[in-house]
Structure 1
Amino acid sequence: MLVLTAEDVRRSVPMNVAVDAVRDAFTELAAGHFVLPPRQIFGNGAVLVMSAYHSPTGTAVVKKIGIALDQVPAIRATLVWTGNGEQMVAEGSSITTLRTGAVVGVATDLLAPAEASRLTVIGSGAQAPDQVRAVLAVRPIADVTIVGRSADRAAALAGELGTEFPDVRFTSSTDIDASIADPHIICCATSSATPLFSADSLPESVHVNAVGAFRPTMRELPRDLFATASTVLVDQTEAALEESGEVIDAVTSGTLTTQDLLELGPALSSPPPRSGRTVFKSVGVGCQDWAIAAALAEMP
């Protein structure tokens, strides 16, 4: 049995590889090649269990996640991959942030303007660095603003990422409205229970990713953003209607209908226009974990 640490995961699957792997997995999902049981949720979201089975290869993953938002790190996870008579166990928190970043890279590549150069990331926690890495992997970003409730944490993350990407200008802020006034791309990666901003604070043309809210009681995006968006993209409609507080609120209020939700897999073969305000909401599905696990299993 192969056992991999977080360092092994990072060394073996760089972000550009992760983005390609996750893109291919969603194409496979749209083709009907995955069995994705609903995510099991225990203890009001304190423990999650996700799984995916890839029919063409007979390979599967199961990931257990423990979540404690009042602790650091907030997410602790373990992933098990099986296939071809072999088994791999990997540290799952690194896979979770990597595959969450990667799916944002896929969606951003699909919806954001090709020349997008300004990025704002709201949130300075564990998910934020891979949000930056993913967007930088698919767009020529020159300026990044990290927004956080803690000025020190936001500045520290901006400094760390500035060292990693010396050709990109990084700044930090605690003012959300000022930081979302003119970016081309926004990534939301917080545990907020209430919307982070009003659509009135946004440019008329912007792509917004949201990955932080994973319970019906959580919301990062405002209802009025959905009302003004030309495209609302989700990783999987069923999962979004079960777990995304923003999507549930928008559908319940009549702001959106289920027919307004575009799934990522089919959108890859029939891309929507890149115009106006576009939204990608992800709660995470098992094929993303499978994609990273499969890439790890192929490493020398």
Structure 2
Amino acid sequence: MSTAVAAVRDAFRELAAGNFVLPPRQIFGDGAVLVMSAYHIPSGTAVVKKIGIALDQLPAIRATVIWTGAGEQLVAEGHSFTTLRTGAVVGVATDLLAPADANRLTVIGTGAQAPDQVRAVLAVRPIADVTITGRSADRAAALAQQLAAEFPEVKFTAGTNIDESIADPHIICCATSSTTPLFTADALPENVHVNAIGAFRPTMRELPRDLLATATTVLVDQREAALEESGEIIDAVTSGALAEADLIELGTALDNPPTPQGRTVFKSVGIGCQDWAIAAALSG
């Protein structure tokens, strides 16, 4: 995960420098099939990923990644690719916005994305306590047990009450397929960093409008993608709770870091340069 975080961080710096061509993500069947790509101008390499999503099945994500370079090609199973690169970008954003001594993490969601959310935050912060919260007590407990075996130095607890789980963490990761906000801003601590990666369609929302309206920093992977695909960003901007100009792109923030204070948010819908970063690291 540390290698993935570093690779994705470098890719976003290159994105800000204009070194990528990123066509808009193609969406078919109301989001059931996605195709995304990225071309890295300096190296002449490209990545294409096809994703099939069925939220009522396990695994919910089935994908294939193809990376091509000069005379070489990498073809990889895309499910683990997607969870790894999504975790990695959360690691980059968390490293940018969460307090350096943050040691309490809450993850909302027990699906395929959740484990790499934990791994990414643990890669960048000295987390001592992790709470896993989900609709199913059994699934939350099973995930907590799995991760506890991987990170025996960290205390893991599991539960189903979201408001209790977000009462005092330093960092929150939302990784669900919810279509309604998971909590209200009033339920959060005054100082907390929130990552949200689960909602990738305009009809989906994990974050409440009042959090986006009052956060000191709202970071996105790419403004254009967020305004087209993120349900919570679209809602906040359409309602007037958030101005487009208030959205800060991750690549820009890396070279001009905001001062972490109060409540901060990172909203990701996922873009092709993340996949390119992981593929390039594997191929190299």
TM-score (norm 2): 1.00
How do residues 46-125 of structure 1 correspond to structure 2 at under 5 angstroms? 46-125=32-111
How do residues 223-242 of structure 1 correspond to structure 2 at under 5 angstroms? 223-242=209-228
Spell out, residue by residue over 1:235-271, the C-alpha distance to the aligned partner (whole angstroms, 9 max, x if none).
Answer: 0000000000000000000000100000000100000
State the match for 2:24 in structure 1: 38
Q: What residue identity is the alignment partner of 1:277?
A: R
Looking at structure 2, the residues matched to 256 and 196 of structure 1 have their Cα atoms a distance apart, in angstroms, of: 19
**Identical pairs, percent:** 82
Q: What residue identity is the alignment partner of 1:114?
A: A
Q: What residue identity is the alignment partner of 2:232?
A: E
Looking at structure 1, the residues matched to 38 and 282 of structure 2 have their Cα atoms a distance apart, in angstroms, of: 16
Deviation at 1:125, TM superposition (A): 0.5
Question: Number of aligned pairs?
Answer: 284
Q: What residue identity is the alignment partner of 1:288?
A: Q
Deviation at 1:110, TM superposition (A): 0.1
Is there any run of 5+ residues in structure 1 with no aligned partner, and where? 1-14
Query: Secondary structure of the residue that 2:5 maps to in structure 1?
Result: helix
Spell out, residue by residue over 1:71-117, the C-alpha distance to the aligned partner (whole angstroms, 9 max, x if none).
Answer: 00000000000001111100001000000000000000000000000
State the match for 1:169 in structure 2: 155
Spell out, residue by residue over 1:187-239, the C-alpha distance to the aligned partner (whole angstroms, 9 max, x if none).
Answer: 00000000000000000000000000000000000000011100000000000
Looking at structure 1, the residues matched to 213 and 222 of structure 2 have their Cα atoms a distance apart, in angstroms, of: 20
State the match for 1:12 in structure 2: none
State the match for 1:154 in structure 2: 140
Deviation at 1:34, TM superposition (A): 0.2
Spell out, residue by residue over 1:43-80, the C-alpha distance to the aligned partner (whole angstroms, 9 max, x if none).
Answer: 00000000000000000000000000000000000000
State the match for 1:138 in structure 2: 124
Query: Secondary structure of the residue that 1:45 maps to in structure 2?
Result: coil
Structure 1: which 4+ aligned runs deviate by more than 3 Å? none
State the match for 2:2 in structure 1: 16
Are 2:203 and 1:203 equivalent residues in the alignment?
Answer: no
Query: Secondary structure of the residue that 1:44 maps to in structure 2?
Result: coil
Q: What residue identity is the alignment partner of 1:124?
A: T
Deviation at 1:127, TM superposition (A): 0.2
Looking at structure 1, the residues matched to 256 and 74 of structure 2 have their Cα atoms a distance apart, in angstroms, of: 35
Q: Decide which of 168, 174, 199 is 1:182's aligned counterpart.
A: 168
State the match for 1:6 in structure 2: none
Q: Decide which of 229, 238, 241 is 1:252's aligned counterpart.
A: 238
TM-score (norm 1): 0.94
Q: Decide which of 229, 235, 247 is 1:261's aligned counterpart.
A: 247
Q: Decide which of 198, 217, 228 is 1:212's aligned counterpart.
A: 198
Looking at structure 1, the residues matched to 280 and 184 of structure 2 have their Cα atoms a distance apart, in angstroms, of: 40
Looking at structure 1, the residues matched to 5 and 231 of structure 2 have their Cα atoms a distance apart, in angstroms, of: 26
Query: Secondary structure of the residue that 2:205 maps to in structure 1?
Result: coil
Query: Secondary structure of the residue that 1:214 maps to in structure 2?
Result: coil
Looking at structure 1, the residues matched to 36 and 45 of structure 2 have their Cα atoms a distance apart, in angstroms, of: 14
